[in-house]
Structure 1
Amino acid sequence: MVMEEDVDIVVHHILGVIESWRRTEQTSSRTSPEAKRERFRILVSEAARCFLTGRTNQFVNELEMFLASGLNIDAYDKVYLKNLGWKIPEISEDEEEPHEHAPAVPNLYLFDEDSDYTE
């Protein structure tokens, strides 16, 4: 499917930017943690902005929280949904999907309907 391929390209691009940042940061020990964090946020924002437009800042915030958590994606999602107070149905090993419908994650960019076009 074309959309999945597009997402793969975006993910590959952003991961490449993060990996490049990591290599650079390993060699610069004199940079403060605050400066490293700001540089990370700027680079990821620049890499993602053309794809995510008005949702870029939310993406960078979420990415930063995920990376700081040290969790894998499945664990992070469970913690995130639990903190929203939602019940997450468990999937048994012989089932592919739960019998109940899992709640959909709400659109976290609720405040501005034109957010895709503003920054």
Structure 2
Amino acid sequence: MQHERLAKAVSMTDFLMLALPCHAQVNAEKLKQDGIGACLLKPLTPTRLLPALTEFCHHKQNTLLPVTDESKLAMTVMAVDDNPANLKLIGALLEDMVQHVELCDSGHQRLNGRNRCRSI
């Protein structure tokens, strides 16, 4: 019964952390093999929690942000402005920061399905 509940909890999140009493720490390695991200000793302290949260951040970053150009953020940004000079300027600035940029002269028409954007 408890194994089923843990399996369900693991399936509901990307990184499950458990706070265990000291006598339950003997099962920590088995729990990690079953998908638990981290097993922390009770009582939780910043010294115990910070490394686990850091591990979660690294885990999350590696799985969600495939980066092909490490100097640019792995995202697409749409910039909308009816002034062509402003649009050109923001496009040049964004091109150095993110992987994909869409420049649009009308956000309203873009949202209504009429493509008035160009990718750079």
- After TM superposition, the score normalised by the length of structure 1 is 0.27
Larger helix percent? 1
Larger strand percent? 2
Larger relative contact order (CA 8 Å, sep ≥ 6): 1
Larger radius of gyration: 2
- After TM superposition, the score normalised by the length of structure 2 is 0.27
